[in-house]
Amino acid sequence: MVSYLILAIVGLAFAYVANTVRCFAVNLAAAKKSGLPYVCMPVYTFNRFWLSTHLIWLPLCKKILPASWLTWTDFAIPDWGWTQKHGIYEKLGCDMFIVVSPGKNLLAVADADAVNQITTRRTDFPKPIDLYGSLDVFGKNVVSTEGAIWRHHRKITSPPFTERNNRVVWEESLRQAKSMMAGWMKPDDEVSKPLHDVSDQMMRLSLHVISLAGFGVRLTWPHEDEGPQKPPPGHSLTFKDALTLLLDNLLVVLVFPKWMMKWAPNKTLNETYEAYTEWYKYMREMYNKKLDDVTSGRAGDGMDLMGALVRGAGYSADSPPDTPTMNEKKPGNPNPSKPILTEDEILGNAFVFILAGHETAANTIHFASVFLAMHPSSQRRLQQDLDAILGDRPSSEWDYDDDVPKLFGSMCGAVMNEELRVLPPVVGIPKTTAQGVPQGLSAAGRHYSVPAGCFVSLSTAGLHRNPKYWPHTDLEDLNNFRPERWLLDDEAQQSASSDSQAQEQGPDKEGPDTRPDTASTLFRPLKGSYVPFSDGYRSCLGRRFGQVEILAVLATIFKTWSVELDVSMFLREGESEETLGAERKREVWRLADERARELMRTGMGTIVTIQLRGEKVPLRFVRRGGERFGAGVVGK
């Protein structure tokens, strides 16, 4: 009996190895046929088993194998697109290459021309939607679907993203940013305490903005609340607590089945389940209220995402939900017996808007603050531009139509663009080719054939550092945050057309995105070389929403405050920042700067978006004029 078992195990192992070798040979042959450069790997980096155990095997391989056998380890961690950036393309001498493995071929792209072709040939290079299944927590949505179903979702979810609605985003962002700062400092304070949770606070700010602008629910900061908030009748958590808990434990929600979250003897799982069910209840209440508003002809305020989703699903005053023919009347409904969007799909879209919209913008504001603390002279230049644009007017008088285009075209826009260049929240935008259908692709005057069933990664980290596309002093300069690279000299500025961002409208519902990424008064990257918001048909729906929010928050903070690296951990006993001599000041700042650089180099990891996963960079905000570590002190 035992010998049969051993035989069966050996047989299975043999079959597994034989199949692995066969798959590798097939993928290698396809890569050779493609005409593209390729490198070989013994494992597929995104294989589930490898993903969960690579931290055990990799050090082991590095210990026992000779260095010449280890070239594949460059690609063996899931975040290799980030750790390698453009360096790997330089090493291989090309801007596109295939990583061949037994599981799948992967095409890595840092070529702008190829990116343009891929993003505009939607059916040839669709999204690998199996990767996005976990986003269907509440229902299918515009992010997790493809083909006709995606078109359907996109058509219904696009209308609220208009300039009129971005005005609401602007106003709420100004309000929330002021409030966040008030939570850190009293009106007479000159300096904040060391802040170790700036990223969490920015996340909260961004959540507050989307909550009001998207769903009409204004969220408050703890210092604005009069005592702890009570959940309303029928709820065990407040809306804010449910949403915050849900997003704080997002990974739990995406990975664990709901029954396990409910029944497992684990507090985090149980609490996350409670947040999940509570948020669902709130969204259903919001949905029902909106349904009532829409079917009785009452208009929604502001951006009103939920209202747009309900109206898009076919409900109106003429077609309340109990009208049997409601959906038959709607053009484009492939199956008249079913609603245009089901209730689950409406809630699914509401959830991904919050997910896609809050972390990306929050990261940008957080890292822009960290970078500005590390580069005081760029910060001063930003503040000079803010003074020139906004003068002495209080933020209640800042004007969306007048001021936003100017902010876009100033150092404020340059800081935002540069942060998104250096640290795009999505470092590899995933696409694929269909099984059985290779796809032609041309780049640098040559024609290639991308293998069928190939995973394609548009490497934002690589493209954004490709020396072909960016003004730079040397290669290292491309890794650095230098917003001044976006500023044009006077002559170039004059020849640039007058502000195109001011006239920008919402995204096209179905066509590829042809809108420029940046203001015309700043450096305009070659199309396809700068894609923090992706591009083409599947470009970000909330791009302008995010940009307006980021500009509003940066302007609010830096008009009044400066940010500095907190140096407390480098002070000796008895030392204080106020009494440090010039030399010692320079020394502690250098140490804080080095630590920040090291963390940004080694501490980043991707879960949905890229962020510092362990230790954070502590910051302090000081009233302008009271800086302790200005450009004069730190020498940059």
The verdict on 532 binding ligand HEM (CB under 6 A) reads: yes
Whichever of 276 and 353 has its CB closer to ligand HEM, that residue is 353
The tokens 């930003």 sit on which residue? 382
Residue range at the interface with ligand HEM (CB under 6 A); choices 41-49, 263-271, 358-366, 593-601:
358-366
The verdict on 421 binding ligand HEM (CB under 6 A) reads: no
Whichever of 157 and 439 has its CB closer to ligand HEM, that residue is 157
The tokens 């053009």 sit on which residue? 331
- Which residue, among 176, 276, 169, has the nearest Cα to 219 in the 3D structure? 176
The verdict on 139 binding ligand HEM (CB under 6 A) reads: no
- The enclosing H or E element of 165 equals helix 163-184
Interface with ligand HEM in residues 543-562 (CB under 6 A): 545-546
Whichever of 136 and 627 has its CB closer to ligand HEM, that residue is 136
Q: Closest approach of Cβ 317 to ligand HEM, in Å?
A: 27
The verdict on 565 binding ligand HEM (CB under 6 A) reads: no
**By rule CB under 6 A, what count of residues binds ligand HEM?**
23
Whichever of 244 and 364 has its CB closer to ligand HEM, that residue is 364
Is 415 exposed, middle or buried (CB count within 10 Å of its CB: 0-12, 13-18, 19+)?
Answer: buried
The verdict on 425 binding ligand HEM (CB under 6 A) reads: yes
Residue range at the interface with ligand HEM (CB under 6 A); choices 273-281, 437-445, 516-524, 526-534:
526-534
- The enclosing H or E element of 106 equals strand 106-109
The tokens 């409601």 sit on which residue? 326
Please tell me the distance from the alpha carbon of residue 143 to that of residue 132, in angstroms, as a whole number.
8
Terminal alpha carbon distance of the chain: 75
The verdict on 303 binding ligand HEM (CB under 6 A) reads: no
Residue range at the interface with ligand HEM (CB under 6 A); choices 9-17, 83-91, 350-358, 598-606:
350-358
Residue range at the interface with ligand HEM (CB under 6 A); choices 118-126, 290-298, 396-404, 537-545:
537-545
Whichever of 253 and 309 has its CB closer to ligand HEM, that residue is 309
Kind of pairing between the strands at 96-100 and 38-40: parallel
Q: Closest approach of Cβ 519 to ligand HEM, in Å?
A: 16
Contacting residue, 77, 106, 107, 143, with ligand HEM by CB under 6 A: 143
Are the beta carbons of 604 and 542 closer than 8 angstroms? no
At residue 77, φ and ψ (nearest 5 deg) are -110, 145
Please tell me the distance from the alpha carbon of residue 41 to that of residue 27, in angstroms, as a whole number.
11
Q: Closest approach of Cβ 422 to ligand HEM, in Å?
A: 12
Please tell me the distance from the alpha carbon of residue 276 to that of residue 250, in angstroms, as a whole number.
10
SS3 456: strand
Return the amino acid letter for 467.
P
Please tell me the distance from the alpha carbon of residue 436 to that of residue 451, in angstroms, as a whole number.
8
Whichever of 425 and 618 has its CB closer to ligand HEM, that residue is 425
Contacting residue, 201, 327, 433, 534, with ligand HEM by CB under 6 A: 534
Are the beta carbons of 259 and 277 closer than 8 angstroms? no
Contacting residue, 313, 412, 540, 580, with ligand HEM by CB under 6 A: 540
> Which string of DSSP letters, residue by residue, matches 365-424?
HHHHHHHHHH-HHHHHHHHHHHHHHHTT--GGG--HHHHHHHHHTSHHHHHHHHHHHHS-
The verdict on 538 binding ligand HEM (CB under 6 A) reads: yes
Whichever of 77 and 427 has its CB closer to ligand HEM, that residue is 427
Please tell me the distance from the alpha carbon of residue 322 to that of residue 324, in angstroms, as a whole number.
6
The verdict on 382 binding ligand HEM (CB under 6 A) reads: no
Q: Closest approach of Cβ 501 to ligand HEM, in Å?
A: 15
94 appears as a binding residue in the annotation: no
Q: Closest approach of Cβ 145 to ligand HEM, in Å?
A: 8
Q: Closest approach of Cβ 425 to ligand HEM, in Å?
A: 5
The verdict on 356 binding ligand HEM (CB under 6 A) reads: yes
Token duo for residue 182: 């008030």
Whichever of 31 and 142 has its CB closer to ligand HEM, that residue is 142
The residues pairing with 440 across neighbouring beta strands, listed in sequence order, are 449
Q: What region, left, alpha or beta, does residue 393 occupy, with left being phi > 0 and alpha being psi -120 to 50 degrees?
A: beta
Are the beta carbons of 581 and 630 closer than 8 angstroms? no
SS3 612: strand
Q: Closest approach of Cβ 113 to ligand HEM, in Å?
A: 19
Contacting residue, 170, 273, 276, 353, with ligand HEM by CB under 6 A: 353
Q: Closest approach of Cβ 316 to ligand HEM, in Å?
A: 24
Give the annotated binding-site residues for heme. Answer: 540
The residue ranges that bind ligand HEM (CB under 6 A) are 142-143, 154, 210, 353, 356-357, 360-361, 364, 425-426, 429-430, 532-534, 538, 540-542, 545-546
Give the annotated binding-site residues. Answer: 540
